Structure 1
Amino acid sequence: MPVSLIALQQMRGRPAAFVGLGAALLLAVATTTLFGSLLAAELTAPDGSGARTDGPGVAVIAGAFGEIAVLVSLFVVVNALGFAVERQHRELALLRTVAATPRQVRRLVRVQVVAAVLLVSGPGSVLGTVAARGLLAALQRRGMASPDLSVTPAVLPMLVATAAALVVGTAATAVAARRISRIPPAAALTASATEQARTGVPRLLVGLVAVAGGALLLRLAATRPAQDLDKAGQAALLGSLALLVALALTGPLTARLPAAVLGAPLRVLSPGTGWLADAHLRGYARRLSSAVVPVALLVGLSGTMTAMTHTAKRASDADTGSVTSATDVWLRQGELAMLMCFAAVSTVNTLVAVTADRRREFALLRLAGATRPQVMRMLAAEAAVTTVVGVLLGGAVAAAATAAYGTAVTGSALPSVPEAACGWIVAGAAVLTLPGILASGAWAVRGPAADVAGGDRG
């Protein structure tokens, strides 16, 4: 049977494994179409229309927004693709044992990505065009865009958005399918049920490069002059994103220490379920990292944007000659809302996928004598630790980024931090994490344990 048909059959047979990937790709296509449409509106406008604005212009705003938003959306796509492949590990392992070559396995995953992109490209393009019209109208109401500009459905932004999603998705398949395609066929089935014990040296090296890049960007943000605060803000955001990418790459090592520190009280407070939760957190560092990273992404980006916006607003209120205006603050608030949307989608996708993939594990615990309530209490303890670790790591990234931005704005590395807003960010992370994990866990523990334990993981 052709590889393409096998790929499509797996998508039809296990649609839940591709829901997260589809949502991430939809956001990526919509985001790229949104900012591409704004750029097209500016470039095709009549001569001189862009001059009748109070602000940097639509092209500059679209570039500033799009630079971060597109990068974050593509990060979400890569993360979601990894879980789509992980959910198929057993099927891919079986293909390897019946003589499928590594190239065929990678081609199968690429076909799935291409199919997913083509499915969402239409709706994503429409959504992006509608969002572009809404954003342009908001800019026009504030005098930041010429009333002569208009967004019309254009083929080029849609094609560019689809092509970008295809390039990123197909490039990411080489990494996502690397483990299952490299190992010998006889070991494929065993590998599909276990976790790789070590983080590879290349991954660690790339992570260290990301840390160095993030540090350089934050230093650049801190040393920008007062008239370049927009560039300082962009550098701070890019620096925080680089540090979060580094966290994703080195997560199994980075998340293990705080999880171990938090796991010790669990064993004391709840000797039964607490011990199980701590053992699972220690024994599955990669799974812990996968759950922690999106929470850190949500807290890190949201915290950075919130503190930056508040710092800029305070500086503007304190100095009437400040280069930071109310429109700058509004733009940062809009960017914050968009980034929170992306981070929330990534968080829900990842946590649901990680928890639902443990169905067979929960069944084995029940066969060993654990009851459903005990399994759910164990999962609640794991969810609490995951939330706290993600908040701590994301908060550390946000603190570093906002310190750099605060140095550029006020000359002090202690930025103006809105306590209430930060509290809402932490609460939002908990609301997304705890119910998402527990709802997925309730689904995963359903059915007779013996039947689930004898089947696959999904």
Structure 2
Amino acid sequence: QRHRELALLRAIAATPGQIRRLLGREALVVGAAAGVLGVLAGLPLADWLHGRFIDMGAIPVTLERTAGVFPACAALVVTLVGAWAAARISGRRIARIRPAEAMAESAVERGPARGRIVAGLVLFAGGAALVGVLSVLRTEAAATPVTFLAVVVSATAVSLLGPYLVRFASVLLAGPLRAVGAGGSLATANIRGNSARMASVVTPLTLLIGMTCTVLFVQPTLGDAARAQARDGVRATWVLAAQGPGVPSEAAGAVRGAPGVTAATEVVRTTVRVGLDKYQAQGVTQAGLARTWDPDVTSGSLTAFTHGHDTAAISELAADRLGLRPGSALRLHLGDGTPASLTVAAVYRRGLGFGDLTLPHDLLARHMDNPLAATVLVAGHGSRDELAAALQRFPGLSVLSAETADRLQADRQQENAAVNYCAMGLILAFTAIAVVNTLAMSVSERIREFAMLRLAGATRRQVLRMLRAEALSVLLISTALGSGIALAVLTAFSIGMTGSAAPSVLPLLYATVVGAAALLALAATALPGRLALRARPAETAMSRQ
């Protein structure tokens, strides 16, 4: 936007070094002001986030928040260095070329440099490679960082190749835009003639839509697959749940003696370590296990697991990662650090629904802070009233159908996902600010253009209609690119984690994301546009000469 100003400085004998120092010092001044304001705003925001995470149960109440000098200084330094480097890099060409060339370049839009195109193609290939890697990752800890890295790399490729993508899209949108009238024709000409400027607006919107969709649909994809596996694998008629810390073993024993009950399986859940890696594990009582639980055994035997006190069952994904099979020795450390050596008796498919490792209940419970069962699976033809009567001595316990227990599990997953949404909300808010800033600046720099259109006979309404048509075009391009990036990443994530190329996408939530992006785009275009059109066209055109 400042090429014309900098070109004039070069024309009146400013040296390249003076231009670079001017830009660098301006960036340091602006960066210092922004950094200080950001630090002051970050302190109360950190306090609010700390309270929210406590309310959600993500961190304990006893974990106090501390505010030291180092984080504030580090944030300020990063802001200054980033602003200075960005200003020096973006002004490098205008400071290096001859003054006459600088004046010529300021008058017309220059096409993308060859290095930018090469970098864009490299990053596009890198994004595709990350998507391919994501499709073979089997653990959430490994897949999550790659998921968001793939979105960022792909969005960066869009930013570098943006002018070409915008020109291609303008050809597709030319017909619909002509139907809008004169404003649509002007919008088509602007998109084609100023593809670099339009690409700078498309990039943050693409990142906003792509990142938001990825954040919102990663957890549902994983949670729905886990619930589906658990739903298919639970054979129990009833599920005992507790409002307190868990279901005591005495309550499970009382249920086993109730009329019509054929089996009651106590389930405790924790994490164990195999080597340096953590794995989700569950402990189950082994008597009558086949009547309440079906993990879809693919090798080995569930019977061998139920008849051994030093045996374990393991999911296919964990077995592949650890190189285990039925008969192999599994060496692990329990929750309190106690080492244990077990023999793998069965390998099962439904690891998302039941955890990577299944161990004997007593072994796991002895080494947990809370040995009470998270749930008790009850098989048989006993009625709810008969089970409730057997549990009269145990207040706080409830008898649920398998369907009700599944719905409660879905609610708990939604609560856990709220923690991730809150943390990622900061990134999305930053991206939204970038979208508004970019759109507002893109409109504000076109005051002279609007004045010339008015002098050529265009009405104020036609110019505003042109801006709306441009904003909608940018939104369509960004939605297509952002949705495409998110769909590719989510599909690869689903293949790797669930084995199915069917990510869970909620249509209403997706429509909300696109609607919010549209609201941002239209508001950030319309408001600066109305302000720019308040001045008289003749005065604006003369003052901008």
Q: Please, what TM-score do these two structures have when normalized by structure 1?
A: 0.76
Q: Find out whether 1:151 has 2:65 as its counterpart.
A: yes
1:425/1:142 CA distance change after superposition, 3 Å: closer
Aligned residues: 367
Would the aligned equivalents of 2:56 and 2:419 in 1 still touch at CA under 8 Å?
no
Would the aligned equivalents of 1:229 and 1:408 in 2 still touch at CA under 8 Å?
no
Q: 1:304 aligns with which of 189, 214, 217?
A: 214
Cα distance in 2 between the residues matched to 1:142 and 1:447: 51
Return the letter of the residue paired with 2:19: V
Cα distance in 2 between the residues matched to 1:330 and 1:223: 27
Q: Find out whether 1:416 has 2:532 as its counterpart.
A: no
The residue that corresponds to 1:356 in the other structure is 444
Return the letter of the residue paired with 2:195: A
Q: Find out whether 1:127 has 2:41 as its counterpart.
A: yes
Structure 2 alignment gaps of length 5 or more: 231-352, 357-408
Would the aligned equivalents of 1:263 and 1:385 in 2 still touch at CA under 8 Å?
no
Q: Find out whether 1:294 has 2:294 as its counterpart.
A: no
Please list the CA deviations of residues 98-121 of structure 1 after superposition, one character each: whole Å capped at 9, or x if unmatched: 111122112111111111121122
The residue that corresponds to 1:367 in the other structure is 455
Give the drift of 1:93: 2.1
Q: Find out whether 1:274 has 2:184 as its counterpart.
A: yes
Return the letter of the residue paired with 1:195: E
Q: What SS class does the counterpart of residue 255 from structure 1 fall into?
A: helix
Give the drift of 1:90: 3.0
Q: Find out whether 1:206 has 2:124 as its counterpart.
A: no
The residue that corresponds to 2:403 in the other structure is none
Q: What SS class does the counterpart of residue 454 from structure 1 fall into?
A: helix
Q: Find out whether 1:430 has 2:518 as its counterpart.
A: yes
Please list the CA deviations of residues 373-423 of structure 1 after superposition, one character each: whole Å capped at 9, or x if unmatched: 111111221111111111111111111111111112221222011111000
Cα distance in 2 between the residues matched to 1:222 and 1:332: 22
Return the letter of the residue paired with 1:240: V
Cα distance in 2 between the residues matched to 1:144 and 1:388: 38
The residue that corresponds to 1:255 in the other structure is 166
Q: Find out whether 1:406 has 2:494 as its counterpart.
A: yes
Would the aligned equivalents of 1:359 and 1:444 in 2 still touch at CA under 8 Å?
yes
Cα distance in 2 between the residues matched to 1:409 and 1:109: 48
1:407/1:179 CA distance change after superposition, 3 Å: same
Return the letter of the residue paired with 2:31: V
Would the aligned equivalents of 2:58 and 2:419 in 1 still touch at CA under 8 Å?
no
Would the aligned equivalents of 2:7 and 2:99 in 1 still touch at CA under 8 Å?
yes
Cα distance in 1 between the residues matched to 2:103 and 2:531: 25
Return the letter of the residue paired with 1:255: V
Return the letter of the residue paired with 2:108: T
The residue that corresponds to 1:233 in the other structure is 144
1:316/1:127 CA distance change after superposition, 3 Å: farther
Return the letter of the residue paired with 1:241: V
The residue that corresponds to 1:391 in the other structure is 479
Return the letter of the residue paired with 2:190: H
Q: Find out whether 1:102 has 2:16 as its counterpart.
A: yes
Cα distance in 2 between the residues matched to 1:328 and 1:404: 23
Return the letter of the residue paired with 1:373: R
Task: Identify the range of structure 1 (167-176 vs 352-361) with the bigger mean alpha-carbon deviation.
Answer: 167-176
Give the drift of 1:427: 0.4
1:456/1:191 CA distance change after superposition, 3 Å: farther
Give the drift of 1:143: 4.3
Task: Identify the range of structure 1 (215-224 vs 412-421) with the bigger mean alpha-carbon deviation.
Answer: 215-224
Return the letter of the residue paired with 1:204: I
Cα distance in 2 between the residues matched to 1:289 and 1:357: 15
Cα distance in 1 between the residues matched to 2:486 and 2:355: 24
Q: 1:321 aligns with which of 345, 351, 354?
A: 354
Please list the CA deviations of residues 35-77 of structure 1 after superposition, one character each: whole Å capped at 9, or x if unmatched: xxxxxxxxxxxxxxxxxxxxxxxxxxxxxxxxxxxxxxxxxxx
Give the drift of 1:146: 4.2
Q: Find out whether 1:339 has 2:431 as its counterpart.
A: no
Cα distance in 2 between the residues matched to 1:91 and 1:417: 48
* Identical positions, percent: 35
When the two chains are superposed, the root-mean-square deviation of aligned CA atoms in Å is 2.1
Cα distance in 2 between the residues matched to 1:257 and 1:164: 37
Return the letter of the residue paired with 1:435: A
Q: What SS class does the counterpart of residue 354 from structure 2 fall into?
A: coil
1:126/1:272 CA distance change after superposition, 3 Å: closer
Give the drift of 1:233: 1.8
Cα distance in 1 between the residues matched to 2:189 and 2:421: 41
Q: 1:166 aligns with which of 73, 80, 94?
A: 80
Larger Rg: 2
Would the aligned equivalents of 1:90 and 1:192 in 2 still touch at CA under 8 Å?
yes
Return the letter of the residue paired with 1:250: L
Cα distance in 1 between the residues matched to 2:102 and 2:539: 23
Task: Identify the range of structure 1 (108-117 vs 333-342) with the bigger mean alpha-carbon deviation.
Answer: 333-342
Structure 1 alignment gaps of length 5 or more: 1-85
1:231/1:134 CA distance change after superposition, 3 Å: farther
Cα distance in 2 between the residues matched to 1:153 and 1:349: 30
Q: Please, what TM-score do these two structures have when normalized by structure 2?
A: 0.64
Q: Find out whether 1:176 has 2:209 as its counterpart.
A: no
Give the drift of 1:365: 1.1
1:296/1:379 CA distance change after superposition, 3 Å: same
Please list the CA deviations of residues 119-159 of structure 1 after superposition, one character each: whole Å capped at 9, or x if unmatched: 12223123223222333333334444344432222111111
Would the aligned equivalents of 1:362 and 1:445 in 2 still touch at CA under 8 Å?
yes
Give the drift of 1:432: 0.5
Cα distance in 1 between the residues matched to 2:133 and 2:426: 24
Cα distance in 1 between the residues matched to 2:512 and 2:355: 29
Give the drift of 1:255: 2.1
Which one has a larger percent strand, Structure 1 or Structure 2? 2
Cα distance in 2 between the residues matched to 1:328 and 1:194: 52
Would the aligned equivalents of 1:259 and 1:389 in 2 still touch at CA under 8 Å?
no
Q: What SS class does the counterpart of residue 369 from structure 1 fall into?
A: coil
Give the drift of 1:174: 2.7
Q: 1:243 aligns with which of 133, 154, 161?
A: 154
Give the drift of 1:190: 3.8
Return the letter of the residue paired with 1:321: F
Cα distance in 2 between the residues matched to 1:422 and 1:224: 26
Would the aligned equivalents of 1:221 and 1:236 in 2 still touch at CA under 8 Å?
yes
1:255/1:117 CA distance change after superposition, 3 Å: same
Q: What SS class does the counterpart of residue 199 from structure 1 fall into?
A: coil
